[in-house]
Amino acid sequence: MANSPQLRMQELQQILNKYNYEYYVLADPTVPDSEYDRLFNELKQLEQKYPDSADPNSPTQRVGGSAAREFSSVTHSVPMLSLDNAFNPEEIQKFVARLQDRLGSHDDIEFVAEPKLDGLAVSLVYQNGLLQRAATRGDGAVGEDITANCKVIQDIPLSLDKKVSLEVRGEVYMRKDTFAGLNRKALHDGEKQFANPRNAAAGSLRQLDSNITRKRGLSFFAYSLIGPDFTTHTQALQILQELSFPVCIENKVVIGVSGCNDFYEQLLQKRDNLDFEIDGIVYKVNSIALQQKLGFVSRAPRWAIAYKFPAAEELTTVQDVEFQVGRTGILTPVARLQPVAVGGVMVSNATLHNMDEIERKDVRIGDVVTVRRAGDVIPEIVNVVLAKRPKDAKVIVAPKNCPVCGAEAVRVAGEAAIRCIGEISCPAQVKEAIAHYAARRAMDIDGLGEKIVTQLVASEMIKSVADLYTLQLDDLVQLERMGKKSAQNLLEAINASKQTTLAKFLFALGIPEVGETTARSLAQELGDLAEIQSTTVEQLLTIRDIGPVVANNIFMFMQQPHNLEVIERLVSSGISWDVTTTSTDNLPLAGKTYVLTGALQIMSRGEVKDKLQNLGATVSSSVSKKTDYVVVGDDPGSKFTKAQDLGIPILNEEQLIELLKEGN
């Protein structure tokens, strides 16, 4: 029987039962959903091929999970089913074809498409308009009584306007911003962070003390109704809304396979901008008569399917860990991974942030890890699958020397970061510093991209940003793929950068933690480079946006002889700015704070930010009572909702453009 399909089926059952227990009962899964889905499908296919060997108690025959011992059991009046999955358009096509065959008609079918929330399914039973009992799905037949914990979720009505008796099903989830706040607090308090919003929601719902659940700020969306009469699922959603249950506004009626696929593409685009995590779409036949005709199979309705998005989390192996040197000398550990497709993109590197993070997650070279890629952010390692750790997994040691220049690498007091002390003698720092200096939002040297900077530093043509202004045509034409015309253009761009603003120049210098806003405040408040060079920490602390760490960084930067020499050489090479335009007090938008959210169509965010700031406004990244206006583009995020909640005036892009015109 060795390596027989039967043995593999037994093995898969054991593994899946373990993963189910971790997911449903412990709310602490050790592997990503993608790994579970893969093994589940492997088992399902083997059972289809060898039906005589299929175990009637196989995880494929159950919804998964079981009631936890701490909560009393609840038997569902109607089983809470799971959903079959589709992973590509062909599987959706097959699903629709199956429905048409069963219905004996090839007419297009009307579906309701709903985002599939990554949370926990719950049942809410109301009697005479009052919430009587809330339960988890459990194994589909028997769940856990979580009434006390659901009563503290603000979105769940405790009583309804009408004295009706009915059951509502839906998903308890945690919004992305709530999740981020919870993990920030956990990190601050030295507690274990949650791997993702779903785990956080599950962990919060399973609390024995509902006061803890209340503080976690869970949310709810309703998607199913049992009791009242209705002829379509759309009607059911309408009734739910009238009864004041939150229903996801992204739900939409779609027709046929093409309607399903169009909705998929649209929602995939929106996915990162939604306030909540979704892992796919649920398509449901809209007509209740057709749903009844189609019926159920063992664990799922025939009339619905979940079309899963490419998984945002995958399993892979850490092949090595290298330390990258940033502009300010900070060494960032980066895991080199066995390449793996995550969310539709190949991932071969993941940031490990710093040594504290490595220790907290206990990542070792050789480990099997869950890697996560959300939106455009750099992929990160969520956790290590300890059960898969090889015996020879290697502990990651903090380097004592910079991997690029060999200078000492020291742990910054009070910080998790390790820093190379090489500063301007470290080619990695010089390269990053030059790239930063040349960036569009700094000195804006067109054509001085990363590849050229790498060559200039490697060939020792430049050792600091000041050397840029001594470059000659003969130097540049020696570089790879650099023709005479491109070299001339680059020299012109370098020359043109000499006319700038004090704020841009200060930002371009790359003082640790001095971003554009701080550079602008410095320029506005002190107005003059000599003043900034001779200022004290106390004086700096009186400036808007500047706290003790940044004040100290600025002061220390201006004390270093090598930095002063570079500034001196830059100024001597002709860099200058208009000293009369530094005060913003008289500008039309002085004192006003703007926040931008969503995708702008006509101007880039950078342009809008520049224009607003040039008119004296402050552009902030978060909405608060102090915000004067929120500019909203397409698919805005939670900042839009927050602005509405706080009653802050909203501007669309056209209104913003008008405002910018008036300001000029």
Residues recognised as catalytic: 116
DSSP secondary-structure letter at 573?
A: T
Return the residue matching tokens 């700031």: 613
Does 81 sit near ligand 5U1 (CB under 6 A)?
Answer: yes
Closest to ligand 5U1 by CB, 280 vs 633, is: 280
Closest to ligand 5U1 by CB, 92 vs 546, is: 92
Contact between 139 and 65 under an 8 Å Cβ cutoff? The reply is yes
Closest to ligand 5U1 by CB, 54 vs 122, is: 122
Closest to ligand 5U1 by CB, 125 vs 182, is: 125
Residue 550 CB-density burial (10 A; 0-12 exposed, 13-18 middle, 19+ buried)? buried
- In angstroms, give the least distance from the CB of 116 to ligand 5U1: 5
Does 284 sit near ligand 5U1 (CB under 6 A)?
Answer: yes
Residues numbered 100-129 forming contacts with ligand 5U1, rule: CB under 6 A:
114, 116, 121
- In angstroms, give the least distance from the CB of 111 to ligand 5U1: 11
Angstrom distance (rounded) from CA 278 to CA 374: 11
Angstrom distance (rounded) from CA 577 to CA 503: 9
Query: Which two three-digit tokens encode residue 553?
Result: 């960084």
Beta partners for 125? 133, 167
Site string for ligand 5U1, 213-252 (x = CB under 6 A): ----------xx----------------------------
Angstrom distance (rounded) from CA 590 to CA 582: 12
Residues numbered 145-204 forming contacts with ligand 5U1, rule: CB under 6 A:
171
- The secondary structure of 32-51 as a DSSP string is -HHHHHHHHHHHHHHHHH-G
- In angstroms, give the least distance from the CB of 145 to ligand 5U1: 20
| E strands in 462-543 | 499-500
Nearest to 631 by CA among 658, 24, 615: 658
Beta partners for 346? 341
- In angstroms, give the least distance from the CB of 279 to ligand 5U1: 10
- In angstroms, give the least distance from the CB of 137 to ligand 5U1: 8
Residues numbered 296-355 forming contacts with ligand 5U1, rule: CB under 6 A:
301, 304
Angstrom distance (rounded) from CA 429 to CA 438: 14
- In angstroms, give the least distance from the CB of 182 to ligand 5U1: 23
Number of chain residues interacting with ligand 5U1 (CB under 6 A): 13
DSSP secondary-structure letter at 23?
A: I
Angstrom distance (rounded) from CA 280 to CA 278: 6
Residue type, 535: T
Residue from 83, 247, 335, 660 touching ligand 5U1 (CB under 6 A): that is 83
What does the angle CA 572 – CA 575 – CA 576 come to, to the nearest 5 degrees?
Answer: 115
Contact between 447 and 490 under an 8 Å Cβ cutoff? The reply is yes
Beta partners for 596? 631
Closest to ligand 5U1 by CB, 140 vs 343, is: 140
Q: Candidates 47-55, 80-88, 322-330, 418-426: pick the segment binding ligand 5U1 (CB under 6 A).
A: 80-88
Does 443 sit near ligand 5U1 (CB under 6 A)?
Answer: no
Query: Which two three-digit tokens encode residue 273?
Result: 């901008």
Question: CA dihedral defined by 597, 600, 603, 609, rounded to 10 degrees?
Answer: 0
Closest to ligand 5U1 by CB, 230 vs 555, is: 230
Closest to ligand 5U1 by CB, 71 vs 307, is: 307
Q: Candidates 50-58, 76-84, 557-565, 638-646: pick the segment binding ligand 5U1 (CB under 6 A).
A: 76-84
- In angstroms, give the least distance from the CB of 43 to ligand 5U1: 20
Q: Which residues bind ligand 5U1 (CB under 6 A)?
A: 81-83, 114, 116, 121, 171, 223-224, 282, 284, 301, 304
